[in-house]
Chains A and B, each alone.
Chain A
Amino acid sequence: MKNIIKMHNVSKYYGKFKALSSLTLNVEENQIYALIGPNGAGKSTAIRLMLGILNPSEGYVEVLGKRPTQKNVKIFKNMGYLPGELSTYQKLTGNEVLKFFSSLRNIDDDQYIRNLIERLDYDPNKYIKELSKGNKQKLGLILAFMHKPELLILDEPSSGLDPLMQQITIELIQEARLNGSTIFLSSHIFSEIDKVAERVGFVKEGKLIVEESLEILKSNAMKSIVIYFKETIPLNLFDNIKNVNLIETNKNVVKLNIFGPIDEIIKVISKYEIIDLTTQDPTLEELFMNYY
Chain B
Amino acid sequence: MLKKIWTKVIYDQKLSLGFWNLGFIGISLLIMSMYPSIKLSGDALDQTIKSLPNEMVELLYGGAVQSITTPIGFLSMELYSLIFPFGLIIYGVTNGINAIAGEEKNGTLELLVTLPITRIQLAYEKYFSLVLGLLLIIIPFSTFIIIFKGLFGLEFKPILIIIAGIELFALALCLSSIGFALATATGNKSMSIGITYSITVFSYLWNGLAGLVQEIENTKSISFFYYYSGIKPSSTRIDIVEFISISLFSVLIVSIAIFIFNRRDIRT
* A pairs with B: yes
- The dominant DSSP class at the B interface is loop
Known: A70-B262, A100-B2. A52 touches B111 (CB 8 A): no
Measured CB to CB, the closest approach of chain B to A248, in angstroms, equals: 50
With CB as the reference atom, state the residue of chain B lying closest to A54: B265
In angstroms, Cα B115 to Cα A73, docked, is 8
Cβ-based interface call for B158 (8 A):
no
Q: How far apart sit A104 and B112, CA to CA, in the bound complex (Å)?
A: 9
A87 touches B114 (CB 8 A): no
Min CB distance A18 to B, Å, is 15
Q: Is B263 within 8 A of A55, CB to CB?
A: yes
Give every chain B residue within 8 A of A91 (Cβ-Cβ): 12
- Contact of B116 with A77 in the complex, beta carbons under 8 Å: yes
A53 to B187, CA, bound (A): 13
State in angstroms the CA–CA spacing of A73 and B118 once bound together.
6
Task: Tell me, yes or no, whether A230 is within 8 Å of chain B by CB.
Answer: no
How far in angstroms is the closest Cβ of chain A from B255?
Answer: 15
CA distance A92 to B108 in the complex (A): 12
CB pair A73 B265 closer than 8 Å: no
Contact B116 A88, beta carbon cutoff 8 Å: no
Q: Is B120's beta carbon under 8 Å from chain A?
A: yes
Task: Give the interface residue-count category, chain B.
Answer: 20 to 34
Q: Does B49 contact A (CB under 8 A)?
A: no
> CB distance B116 to A105 under 8 Å?
yes
Contact, CB under 8 Å: B266 / A76: no
Q: What is the chain B residue whose CB lies nearest that of A76?
A: B116
CB distance from A152 to the nearest CB of B (A): 12
Contact of B111 among A44, A55, A81, A96 (CB under 8 A): A81
- A242 at the A/B interface (Cβ < 8 Å)? no
The answer to whether A53 and B113 touch across the interface, beta carbons within 8 angstroms, is: yes
**Residues of A with C-beta under 8 A to B119:** 70
Report B-chain residues with C-beta under 8 Å of the C-beta of A74: 116
Residues of B within 8 A of A (CB): 2-5, 8, 12, 106-108, 110-111, 113-120, 262-266, 268
The 30 sampled A-B contact pairs (Cβ below 8 Å) are: A44-B268, A48-B266, A51-B113, A51-B114, A52-B113, A53-B265, A53-B266, A54-B268, A55-B264, A70-B262, A73-B117, A76-B114, A83-B111, A85-B107, A86-B111, A87-B108, A87-B110, A87-B111, A88-B108, A89-B12, A89-B108, A96-B2, A99-B2, A100-B3, A101-B115, A103-B2, A103-B3, A104-B115, A105-B115, A105-B116
